[in-house]
Chain A
Amino acid sequence: MTQTPHISVQHLNVHIANQQILKDISINIPDKKVTSIIGPSGCGKTTLLKTFNRLLDNTAGIKITGKVLVDNEDIYDPAAEVTHIRKKMGLLSQRPYPLPMSIYDNVAYGPRIHGTREKAELDQLVEEQLKATGLWNEVKDRLNTSASRLSIGQQQRLCLARGLAVGPEIILGDESTSALDPVSTAIIEDLFISLKEKYTIVLVTHILRQARRVSDYIIFVYMGKIIEFGPTEEVLLNPKQELTKEYVKGYIS
């Protein structure tokens, strides 16, 4: 863990309607690695993930204190531009939600809103990102058909391509394979592993096998607190904390 952190969380507290969801979280997320956040349902792992791209901003009754530094820039600084922060991160949610438009327009959507208008440039971007997610050969003949006609696994890869098209540095995955069949899950997992060359990846998962397969580091969260953080093998096979031990063994879920 001598790496430079890409995301640095310092004393982060999140309250939603008088309930404290995250308690004094401090963590450094390493650059160009896969880090998985694990923990039982309702422990705050998704909340933690969503604080990274300020998706919680519009939640009713939210109160966030502390700092989240991305590239040493505090994203909760009132002067920070939220669209700029979000552009740095691609989000892959639990189920794929393609935008209500064609396959091509889904991928081109991000670049378009950020000012790319040139047709040739968009064409190239779309092809590049669809290739990066292994979708190109499956969809190249029907780029103008509705994205909702794709299988759910293909849709999830399309959502990943859509996120990559805005040129992010970080990929956030919120249980991104939980709606997928085993084959699609394996494809997405392999993509995560290959994408970490270029991107910092943070995943929320409740599947320990998946955490073990894809991640370099693991954060174990329990009741809004970080209990343990370390390299995957260490946390899963040789946990230092009693709570982690119990969770990994399956006593708490």
Chain B
Amino acid sequence: MRRRKLEELFFRSLMVLSTVIVGGSFFLIVGTIFYKGAPYMNLDMITKIPGGGFYIGKEGGVLNAIIGSIYVAGGATVLGLLISIPVAIFINMYMDGKKFLSNTLRMAYDVLFGIPSIVYGAFGFLIMVYFGIRASLLGGIIAVTLLVIPILVRTLDEVIRTVPGELRDAALSLGATRWETAKVVLRQIRPGIFTAILLSFGRAVGDVASVMFTAGFSDNIPTSLHQPAATLPLAIFFQLGSAVDEVQGRGYASALILTIIVLIITILAELLIKKFSKFRN
């Protein structure tokens, strides 16, 4: 009996400890960024483009990187969804009876899921060279789209698989075509689509390696797809590398901005998930 009680105590403590570590690191990270970045936060940071040279100066802000990041991550997520939704629907609803093929496809995107983003950056760069695109907003969006597609497909595939077969049967037996049935399934998984968007945007907005070669750098806000675009992660990278305290501080402030953007997106997605959950059964 004593042994069982000890075992219970041991694993319970382990769970509590792990939870504290996870929760603690969240507050530690956000706290550090806030502590180091807040003194350098001001309205200029989010309303002005850098003054006094490429991020190394102490004037102006990182508006170019904020806008650039939102363009890149938003564009990649939208483009990624346009590609991932058809893939997820096709694997789940048009390939029945072809288990081998669908399992092979699933394995393929699982592998893609694990590929580091620098590889997508390099691959995106090759595509750009091939088509003669210079480092630009478009290049960044292409590379980041490649990065987020596996995340989107994987998430969507998993939510579609949770849809009961009977719901599809219900639509089919009303005489719906496969595509009409797929539309019903898409309605059913709307909350899941927002989860996918959230995961994809979060990954896209924070990734450095994929945009390093592809999006380029600029002090200006891009006004067309062919202009180079700054992104927040790269801005943070450069600023933190500076020897000047103030520039470093501005790096932390930029990190704070990035965290806040992710937070806003998370809250927005949660609200949408709630809103669209009400029609589900």
Contacts and interface: CB of A to CB of B under 8 A. Distances in A.
Contacts of B176: 83, 113
B3 interface: no
A84 interface: yes
Q: For B164, B176, B177, B281, which residue has the most chain A Cβ atoms within 10 angstroms?
A: B281
A53 interface: yes
Main secondary structure of the interface of A (DSSP, over half): mixed
A99 B97 contact: no
Interface in A18-33: none
Interface string B33-66: 0000000000000000000000000000000000
Interface stretch (A59-67, A119-127, A191-199, A201-209): A59-67
Contacts of B97: 58-62
Contact of A93 (B98, B169, B180): B169
Contact of B175 (A86, A94, A146, A155): A86
Interface string A72-94: 00000000000110110111011
B280 A148 contact: yes
Interface of B: 96-99, 164, 166-167, 169-177, 180, 184, 187-188, 190, 278-281
A87 B278 contact: no
A114 B176 CA distance: 8
Query: What is the size category of the interface that chain A forms with chain B?
Result: 35 or more
B102 to A, nearest CB: 10
A153 interface: no
A162 interface: yes
B172 A55 contact: yes
A90 to B, nearest CB: 7
Given A100-B280, A101-B279, A148-B280, 10 more contacts: A53-B173, A55-B173, A83-B175, A90-B174, A93-B170, A94-B166, A96-B281, A100-B279, A109-B174, A113-B180
Interface string A19-53: 00000000000000000000000000000000001
